[in-house]
Structure 1
Amino acid sequence: MASLPSPSPSTSTSSTRPELVCPAGTPAALRSAVDAGADCVYVGFRDETNARNFPGLNFNRKELGEGIAYAHERGAKVLVAINTFPRAGQPEIWHQAVADAAKLKADAAILADIGLIEHAHRTHPELRLHLSVQAAASNPDAIRFYAERFGVRRVVLPRVLTVQEIAALNPRIAPVETEVFVFGGLCVMAEGRCALSSYVTGQSPNMNGVCSPAGEVRYTETSQGITSELGGFTINKFAHDEAAGYPTLCKGRFIAHDKASYLFEEPTSLNTLTMLPDLIKAGVTAFKIEGRQRGRAYVAAVVQAFRAGVDAVMAGKPLPDIDLDRITEGGKQTTGAYEKAWR
């Protein structure tokens, strides 16, 4: 078992330019992300090996090969998310996804399942491995285990840590890199542990790659507005002047004590644009934008905004004043757990 070096507490990577890791749910979105300034794009195969397994999204092998070539020609990297958990005794399509990512010269595979990580490390030692947020590794012991045992080079941190906690974590796990979410949809569940969708539809994001599968979604127009349903259950009711959001249980509006409210989480988007200097000082290696299910216009707008933000910080200039309200979920923004302002 390889050992990680013990870093000095004074070690700092605050002067290192972080990578901007951007979503690409389609070949068109990949090109838009690269053209807008992404350092890396992350993608998935068109099957249940990735956690965004929706109709019309993702890549077949030919498309991914072409996408990798397009990115590499322009100096960008491609990371392949194989971040669902294989069915017991039926790991074949997950093993094939790892093999194909390596064959197509992907720059890394993003994995969550410990058995699949072991398989990838053993059978494709040349393939760089990143630990998915779905693995929910947020402390030094867990992260160092994956690094020492399987050679994992980067961990995508769950969205539960403050900036100060991330700053304290980084020197304890060096040289393992950290990647954090900076924009996009939030999840109130511990990543990799959500079972809400499976209760209603029989399919889960962890196993099938689908949170609220499209085939289970229904919208019904009434005299009062629009009703959204998931698996036959009413998730929300919207007035005519409200935007009808996608029905997920965690962001549903339910009646409790005779009052309709968002019991789990209001629709809102993470936006850390103003916190980029602090995250860079904390030693974060990569900034991740969420949204593989979003269109190329969303991808281009967010990538351009964060490209300008990162470049400004690294040049010692003020952050640009960029309004992203129009593309946030519910038209609302939050810094989430990074500040934990509720404490």
Structure 2
Amino acid sequence: MSRQKVPQLICPAGSLPALKAAIDHGADAVYLGYRNDTNARNFAGLNFDRKAMVEGIRYAQARGRQVLLAINTFAQPGRAADWQGAVDGATDLGVDAVILADVGLLDYACRRYPDLRLHLSVQGSATSYEAVNFAHREFGVRRAVLPRVLTLAQVETVIRNTPVEIEVFGFGSLCVMNEGRCWLSSYATGESPNTVGACSPAKYVKWEKSAGEMNTRLNGILIDCFRDDEPAGYPTLCKGRFEVDGETYYALEEPTSLNVLEILPEIARIGVAAIKVEGRQRSPTYVAQVTRTLRAALDELANANQRFHVRPAWQAELARVSEGSQVTLGAYDRPWR
């Protein structure tokens, strides 16, 4: 039976149970982070201490899978040693690659550890092949994760003009901004994913319950008001409802999830190396469900002897864990262009 080359499936691991769920359900690799502000998902209860990371790496690699360590925030003044120490620790742990965004840290990693495989984080905001090629030429970057603002044709242009492997997002929560360049959380709180590793840090979040409704605030800013029969979302500025010209609605972005099932053949055709699932902050159940579904779809796509078609059961599975119970192709498909 002949097989078509398909992208790797890269899945989130915000905890050891999530890592095992991803590996057990077909991920080719998982990405994870330290339990500190060197990674862009620095929330209480998430991420790995050294003991859990050692166990997770052993679990994945024993099954022939890869572990990618995200050190993808930007080193803060006077604390460069903390980020450099994170890279040092990655080499000691034996991870398969390190995902970096900070140019200074990329320079440190490539000079100190020339054999360490480096990936350019989506937080590096490389939206052109010139930017990707710069990272390759200067720091030896082997793979780049593209921000979720490019059309599929633009992704193809990048791939055609770089020797670097290209990874794109395939499922999960969207970011309305170009990753690495969002200042909304910083505007409201003085802290952002790039500085402390958290969008809308929990210490600034406040829930106010009153008769029939729940208000959510971020550093005193009213983000949304939910009725008792509505699920109350976490207060992030980009996904809040605001009054504009007398009308209240999602002024910046509606809660929705990216889902590329229907364009998987095109993603494979243009040479995407890896598809990434968003969601280190999500549960092991979410990770298992999404991984299992995308694994089945990629395996069917790999079977060149049959025509690929999206199964309704796959869409139903992903719809159940989609943000706002909505899915979109996001920037990949812009019919109005």
TM interval, shorter chain, is over 0.9
Runs of 4+ in 1 over 4 A off after TM superposition: none
State the Cα RMSD in Å. 1.3
Task: Tell me which of 197, 202, 216 is aligned to 2:190.
Answer: 202
For 2:177 and 2:122, the matched residues in 1 are separated by 12
Structure 1: tracts of 5 or more residues without a match: 1-13
1:46 partner SS: coil
Q: Tell me if structure 2 keeps the 8 A contact 1:49–1:94.
A: yes
Q: Tell me if structure 1 keeps the 8 A contact 2:4–2:301.
A: no
Task: Tell me which of 20, 25, 30 is aligned to 1:31.
Answer: 20
1:298 matched to 2:286: yes
Q: Tell me if structure 2 keeps the 8 A contact 1:21–1:41.
A: yes
1:71 partner SS: helix
Q: Tell me if structure 2 keeps the 8 A contact 1:308–1:320.
A: no
Structure 1, residues 80-130: CA drift from partner, whole Å, max 9, x if none?
Answer: 000000012320110011011111010000000100000000011121000
1:22 partner SS: strand
Structure 1, residues 110-167: CA drift from partner, whole Å, max 9, x if none?
Answer: 0001000000000111210000011111212111111011110000011111112222
Q: With structure 1 as the length reference, what TM-score do the two structures score?
A: 0.93
Deviates more, 1:160-169 or 1:261-270: 160-169
Q: Tell me if structure 1 keeps the 8 A contact 2:4–2:303.
A: no
Q: Tell me if structure 1 keeps the 8 A contact 2:185–2:199.
A: yes
Q: 2:112 aligns to what? A: 123
Task: Tell me which of 326, 332, 337 is aligned to 1:338.
Answer: 332
Structure 1, residues 64-91: CA drift from partner, whole Å, max 9, x if none?
Answer: 1111000001111000000000012320
Matched AA of 1:210 = A
For 1:268 and 1:17, the matched residues in 2 are separated by 26
For 2:129 and 2:245, the matched residues in 1 are separated by 42
Q: Tell me if structure 2 keeps the 8 A contact 1:80–1:110.
A: yes
For 2:109 and 2:298, the matched residues in 1 are separated by 33
Q: 2:135 aligns to what? A: 146
For 1:327 and 1:217, the matched residues in 2 are separated by 24
User: How far is the alpha carbon of 1:303 from its aligned partner?
Assistant: 0.4
Q: 1:66 aligns to what? A: 55
Matched AA of 2:47 = N
For 1:245 and 1:168, the matched residues in 2 are separated by 37
Aligned length: 329
Matched AA of 1:159 = R
1:320 matched to 2:314: no
Deviates more, 1:282-291 or 1:194-203: 194-203
1:101 partner SS: helix
1:327 partner SS: coil
Matched AA of 1:327 = V
Q: 2:260 aligns to what? A: 272
Task: Tell me which of 84, 107, 127 is aligned to 2:73.
Answer: 84
Structure 1, residues 7-63: CA drift from partner, whole Å, max 9, x if none?
Answer: xxxxxxx94221100000001100010001000000000000000000000001121
For 2:335 and 2:44, the matched residues in 1 are separated by 38
1:219 matched to 2:207: yes
Structure 1, residues 266-319: CA drift from partner, whole Å, max 9, x if none?
Answer: 111111111111100010000000000000000000001100111111113433
Q: 1:288 aligns to what? A: 276
Q: With structure 2 as the length reference, what TM-score do the two structures score?
A: 0.95
For 1:145 and 1:89, the matched residues in 2 are separated by 27
Matched AA of 1:164 = A
Structure 1, residues 182-202: CA drift from partner, whole Å, max 9, x if none?
Answer: 000111112111111122222
